[in-house]
Amino acid sequence: MRRHLDDSPAIRAAAGRTFDACGVGIDDIDFIDLYSCFPSAFQVGARAICLSPDDARGLTLTGGMPFFGGPGNNYTSHAIISAALRLRESGRLAYVAGNGGFLSKHSVGIYGSEPPPGGFRSLDTSKEQSAIDAAALPVASEASGEATVVAGSVVYARDGSVERVPVIAVLSDGTRIVANAAPSLLPSLAGLSLAGSRIAVSGSPPVYVL
């Protein structure tokens, strides 16, 4: 698990290698489309390339995934096409990023109105991936004791009832766990954020109570 849940060293590495290969930086980009399946993905993607969310260039070429959609993983194809159409009209470079998994699979492409001097390049980021893997924190599959919640979500069933409330929490020894709320606790957690709360965890897989 990544050390900082609001950061993505993988996006930073992929984008950095791509910018270096093209000999450009984010300030040289005319059009931008960040993958926007969730606000968190959008925010993390922007932060990873030192881009302000209110950048005057705008951060979507399609209107954003919640408004444009796209079946399966096809949204990024539409973003690339949108970038190509914009580049045919004006501008020089476009940056398009894709995402998959739990903010764990990434694609980065820089597209231009003219062929790059060095031709197309597919980059090897295996060294960066090894460093990311080495820095990852282990996650315990069982736990007993108190923990502090660092992130969580409330999942609702079709009838509007709370189905589960998974959290990521840190035990007193620094170990991270992923735990689900005890069934008896579910109705009282609707609409709540437990970030920062202390919970009591037990079992395998871990279950918590407040």
**pLDDT tens column, 187-200:** 999 999 999 999 99
Same domain for 55 and 151: no
Number of domains in the chain: 2
Q: At what angle do helices 126-135 and 9-22 cross, to 10 degrees?
A: 160
Cβ-based neighbour number of residue 32 at 10 Å: 23
Paired strand residues for 76 = none
* Residues 116 and 38 grouped into a single domain: yes
Contact 125, 147 (CB under 8 A): no
Token pair 């020894």 in the structure block, residue: 173
Residue 115 pLDDT more than 70?
yes
Please give the pLDDT value at position 33: 96
**pLDDT digit string, tens, across residues 13-44:** 999 999 999 999 999 999 999 998 888 888 99
Q: Identify the domain containing residue 14 by its residue range.
A: 9-135
Q: Residue 154 maps to which CATH number? A: 2.40.50.840
Last residue of a domain, one of 135, 161, 177: 135
For residues 25 and 83, membership in a common domain is answered with yes
Residues 21 and 95 in one domain: yes
Count other C-beta atoms under 10 Å from residue 204's C-beta: 10
Q: What is the mean predicted confidence (pLDDT) over 170-185?
A: 94
- Residues ≥6 apart with Cβ < 8 Å to 185: 165, 208, 209, 210
Residues 190 and 101 in one domain: no
Output the pTM of the full model: 0.85
Whether residues 31 and 17 fall in one domain: yes
> Are 171 and 99 within one domain?
no
What pLDDT score does 72 carry? 66
Q: Please confirm whether the linkage preceding 205 is cis (ω < 30° from 0).
A: yes
Q: Are residues 171 and 68 in the same domain?
A: no
124: its two tokens? 């090897």
What pLDDT score does 37 carry? 86
Residues 91 and 178 in one domain: no
Q: What token pair was written down for 54? A: 């209110």
CATH number of the domain enclosing 52:
3.40.47.10
For residues 112 and 177, membership in a common domain is answered with: no
Among 135, 170, 196, the domain boundary falls at 135
Domain assignment of residue 3, yes or no: no
Residues 13 and 95 in one domain: yes
Among candidate residues 135, 165, 189, the one where a domain is terminated = 135
Q: What gap in Å lies between CA 98 and CA 146, rounded to an integer?
A: 38
For residues 17 and 41, membership in a common domain is answered with yes
Query: Across the chain, what does the average pLDDT equal?
Result: 92
pLDDT, tens digit, 9 for 90 and up, residues 117-164: 888 888 889 999 999 999 988 899 998 999 999 999 999 999 999 999
Closest CA to 45 of 111, 118, 120, 95: 95
